[in-house]
Amino acid sequence: MALDDSKKTREFKVVGTRPDRPDGIDKVTGRARFGADMVAPGMLTGRVLRSPHAHARILRIDTSRAEALPGVKAVVTRADFGAVPAHVADIMENCLAGEKALYDGHAIAAVAAVSASVARQALRLIEVDYEVLPHVTDVDEAMKPDAPVLHEGRQQETVPPGMSGNVISRCEFGHGDIEAGLKQADRVIERTYRTAATHQGYIEPHACLATMTADGQGELWVCTQGHYMVRNTCAAILGMDQGRLRVTASEIGGGFGGKTTVFLEPVALMLARKSGRPVRMVMSRSEVLRATGPTASTSIDVRIGMTKEGRITAGFAELRFQGGAWPGSPVGMGAMSGFAPYDLENVKTVGWDVVTNRPKAAAYRAPGAPMAAFAIESAIDELAHGFGLDPLEVRLMNGADEGTKSSYGPTYPAIGLKATLEAAKSHPHWTAPLGKNQGRGVACGFWFNFGGDTSVSLSVTPDGTVTLTEGNPDIGGSRAAMTMMAAEELGIPYDQVRTVIADTGALGQNEVTHGSRVTFSVGLATIAAARAAKAEMCRRAARVWGIDPDAVEWEDGAARPAGPNAGKFPPMTIRDIAAIAPKTGGPISGHHEVMAEGAGVSFATHMVDVEVDPETGATKILRYTVFQDAGKAVHPSYVEGQFQGGAVQGIGWALNEEYIYGEDGILQNAGFLDYRIPVASDLPMIDTVILEIPNPGHPYGVRGVGETSIVPPLAAIANAVSAAAGVRMTQLPMSPPRVLAAIQAGG
Amino acid sequence: MVKVLLWGSLADLAGGAREVAVEAATLRELLEGLARDHPGLRPELERGVSVSIDGRIYNDSWFTPIGPESEVVLLKRLQGG
């Protein structure tokens, strides 16, 4: 669906306001039901036995002693599942190991028992014989020809001969002539940057409750970003018809991409099938960190040339991402996105997807983009400062605009990068004075955004209120946003619409909540469904009035004669029409099913002030401002929340968070005491500036906003810390020991 | 004929050309034409790609029309968080 009218600014009545969130009361009173909150009669507790080795061949698993323990109702291993379809084979292997354990924490077996203590006791009775194998957890080490190889035969045709079997694929993007461009530069810098694997850090651990009846009907209550995905994946793994598995999404305590796949769910269903009892499984925080997907760790080489006036003559980056024990790191998106904010004649990126003995990387908010932006935006910043140029002016000089051929190929339609840069330049933050040991950094970021399968249904109740049914878990305020768009379109108050998240039995397929897609895609479908309901209500009014349906229009929540020639009839409100619906043709509803396309790309500029303690290397965030294009902010408070959340997760990624592996390949910090995410006392209030450059692919101009906000912070903070510390930081996290060592080495 | 821009490593699998021409009026015909005319691209096409048509990104909409002057760019399959 295209933007309603690109020639004039639409006057919204509900969209753009800040009503109370519909889930607020339940969440602050503790009544909202999350993954672990559901119970069922006769429910068992499921627990998972995990590998203590980073890489080991599984020679034997003996579950007989566990099965004999009183209170144990079922034990499962990979053998219980048999062969699974190819498209879910890696997911299956991650849920339960087959021939090899591929990382510390890899699931080996699971039990269902009458209590948690019996389940834990049963795990201790499972005997596993391992042949411990050499391991590798570092991306550069894994690419060496003599590195231990995780898989045979997985290398794709894009990889040149002779490389390690851990190198799965190569991709390359760009245009122009890098070497010719570099020759035009007054300075060329070459740097290598490294980023650590970080976890999405959602507060709610993975949890589910599975039921399987004797006739093969399954039900699953689960904390997920996409219950349709859970249904489809679990059905494939368990050899079920999708229609025989009904999945309901619980409330969700954060996902950020990490809940776009399955871990416990097929195991819980198999335990339920074997035991004949409901089985609930809940991960501990340690399990979440050891065995669910963090993002990739990376090693990135950058070469950029710039004239002394600030024009970038060529940009090159080679990105190496390890995505854990199976193919699929987000290196392709990193390679496509890193230079996307700029209008460059000569640009090239090369990406390598590498496997290591770590948990399989899952998506994490704009997968791949923050790391690429860290490297490229750091190099641009260093060049700008080296010439004594204003880093915002340099970005404006090189910034992409409508008509720019992007670094990944397509030509941009209307985009908002320069609007964010101009807003940053004119913001008081940019000229505020800095004190001793303080520095300011800026960086830009880009994300694609996308749509996908979407199905919604909108029903007018007999009293004229409206129920909107959608199929995407509400992660970032989508119930409020959908309610607002339905109310806007129908011309009725916000509190006359209630939005519910349906189970998989209620609607057609819905793509996972990811890719910043929901406000765009589900919003688009909501508007279309509301328009269908409006059209039907106009038809009902036309029949009552005895005039042509084309002579009726909908305005301010009521059907009205379209003009003087249509006749003189008092308006029929939605309540009037609903009240007589049984007499005019029956229930009134609208629905819309679509493969939503046309999500508009999004850009942001971040600005941050830090203070670095030269004696300890500790960094304090003093001030932070986000400038981002939202297309159209449906509920500005939620948009601001997304901007703030991305900035805060970026602060953690930049300063403290990292997966630390010992020489033995074992994760050393599998808990929030040792894996340090930012807390409120670490942070200033994150200021936000919403820009609205309408997306031509949405009726109201909406763009996704959930992911772009995590792209610039790593680079913006690195640029600020480098300015404050007087030494260029090229490795994340910039933890106090690392900053202190850099200061001491620089001094 | 529609001109399709391939990303660098795909070009190596299509005889080295960064731009190939395919007889197609829809996205489905485009993907089928690429697989037919450039067999080296089949593995990547089977793994899934995204396609930018005149600056808008599509994943699976087979019947999306493509004009002879459309700008068509093959992209790695997008995934979000």
Q: Where are the domains of chain A?
A: 24-31+451-596, 39-133+204-253+259-291, 297-402+424-442+601-746
Whether residue A338 lies within 8 A of chain B, CB to CB, comes out as no
Min Cα–Cα distance to chain A from B57, Å: 6
- Contacts for B69 with CB less than 8 Å, ≥ 6 apart: none
Binary contact (A595, B80; C-beta < 8 A): no
Q: Chain B contact for A363, CB < 8 A?
A: yes
B70 touches chain A (CB under 8 A): no
Percentage of residues of chain A with pLDDT beyond 70: 99
CA distance A405 to chain B (A): 10
Q: How confident is the model over A631-644, as a mean pLDDT?
A: 97
User: Is the CB of A316 inside 8 Å of chain B's CB atoms?
Assistant: no
| Domain A39-133+204-253+259-291 -> CATH class | alpha beta
Report the pLDDT averaged over residues A571-575.
98
Provide the strand spans (E) within A23-94.
Answer: 44-50, 56-62, 72-77
- Element (H or E) spanning A546, and its range? none
Q: What residues of chain B lie within 8 A of the CB of A449, using their CB?
A: 80
CB distance from B62 to chain A under 8 Å?
no
Residues of chain B found within 8 Å of residue A174, distances taken between Cβ atoms: 8
> Would an 8 Å CB–CB cutoff place A336 in contact with chain B?
yes
Q: For residue A7, what pLDDT is reported?
A: 63
**pLDDT per position as a tens digit, A197-224:** 999 999 999 999 999 999 999 999 999 9
Q: With an 8 Å Cβ cutoff, are A515 and B64 in contact?
A: no
DSSP A339: T
Asked if the structure places residue B81 within a domain, the reply is: no
B73 touches chain A (CB under 8 A): yes
Cis check: omega of the bond before A733, within 30 degrees of 0: yes
Confidence class for position A747, pLDDT limits 50, 70, 90: low
3-state SS of chain B: helix, strand, coil percent to 5?
Answer: 30, 30, 40
The CA distance from A736 to A682, in Å, is 14
Question: C-alpha A725: how far from its chain's center?
Answer: 32
ipTM confidence = 0.94
Contact: A171, B9; criterion CB under 8 Å: yes
**Number of folded domains that form chain B:** 1
pLDDT in tens, A460-477: 999 999 999 999 999 989
| Predicted local confidence at residue A76, as pLDDT | 98
Could A599 and B57 be called an inter-chain contact, meaning their C-beta atoms sit closer than 8 Å?
A: yes
The interface residues of chain B toward chain A in range 2-31, judged by CB-CB distance below 8 A, are: 5, 7-10, 12-13
Report how far residue A725's alpha carbon sits from residue A451's, in angstroms, rounded to the nearest whole number.
42
Per-residue pLDDT tens over the stretch A504-551: 999 999 999 999 999 999 999 999 999 999 999 999 999 999 999 999
Q: What is the mean pLDDT of residues A373-395?
A: 98
pLDDT band at A4 (very low <50, low <70, confident <90, very high): confident
Cβ of B56 within 8 Å of Cβ of A256? The answer is no
Domains A24-31+451-596 and A297-402+424-442+601-746 share a fold: yes
Q: Provide the CB-side half-sphere exposure for A385 (13 A, CA).
A: 17
For residue A306, pLDDT over 80 is answered with yes
**H or E stretch at A98:** none
Q: Which CATH number is B52's domain given?
A: 3.10.20.30
B19, B46, B57: which to substitute to probe chain A, counting the most A Cβ within 10 Å?
A: B57
CB of A430 closer than 8 Å to CB of A607: yes
B81 close contact with A: CB closer than 8 A? yes
Nearest CA in chain A to B78: A333
pLDDT tens digit string along A695-740?
A: 989 999 999 999 999 999 999 999 999 999 999 999 999 999 999 9
User: Tell me, what's the pLDDT at B11?
Assistant: 87
CB within 8 Å: B75 and A409: yes
* A-interface mutation test, from B3, B6, B7, most A Cβ less than 10 A away: B7
Query: Which of chain B's residues have a Cβ under 8 Å away from the Cβ of A200?
Result: 81
Portion 282-311 of A in contact with B at CB < 8 A = none
**Binning pLDDT at 50, 70 and 90, where does residue A6 land?**
low
Is B64's CB within 8 Å of A597's CB? yes
Percent of chain A topping pLDDT 90: 96
Specify the CATH class of A297-402+424-442+601-746 in words: alpha beta
Contact at CB, A365 and B81, closer than 8 angstroms: yes
> pLDDT per residue over A101-148, tens digit each?
999 999 999 999 999 999 999 999 999 999 999 999 999 999 999 999
Exposure class string for A173-204: b at 16+ Cβ within 10 A, else e: bbbbebeebbeebeebbeeebbbbbbbbbbeb
Smallest Cα distance from A487 to chain B, Å:
28
pLDDT digits (tens, 9 = 90+) for A30-40: 999 999 999 99
User: CB of A365 within 8 A of CB of A192?
Assistant: no
For residue A50, what are the CA distances in angstroms to A120, A126, A128, A269? 12, 11, 10, 18
Tell me how close the Cα of B32 comes to any Cα of chain A, in angstroms.
20
How does residue A598 score in pLDDT terms, banded at 50, 70 and 90?
confident
User: pLDDT of A65-82, one tens digit each?
Assistant: 999 999 999 999 999 999
**Min CA distance, B35 vs chain A (Å)?**
15
Contacting A residues, span 530-589, partner chain B, CB-CB under 8 Å: none
Task: Report residue A397's pLDDT band, with 50, 70 and 90 as the boundaries.
Answer: very high
Tokens representing A232?
A: 């489809």
Of B7, B61, B81, the CB nearest to A595: B61
Cβ neighbours of B60 in A, within 8 Å: 595
Choose the CATH number for A24-31+451-596 among 3.40.50.10680, 3.10.310.30, 3.40.50.11290, 3.30.365.10. 3.30.365.10
For residue A254, pLDDT over 80 is answered with yes
Residues of chain B short of pLDDT 70, as ranges, are none
- Judge contact between A405 and A581, C-beta under 8 A: no
Phi/psi-derived region of residue A591, left when phi > 0, alpha when psi is between -120 and 50, beta in every other case: beta
CB of A339 within 8 Å of any CB in chain B? no
Distances (CA, A) of A607 to A99, A316, A679: 49, 25, 20
Question: B20 lies in which domain range?
Answer: 2-76
Hey, is the C-beta of A675 within 8 angstroms of any chain B C-beta? no
State the average pLDDT over residues A584-609.
Answer: 95
Strand partners, B5: B19, B73
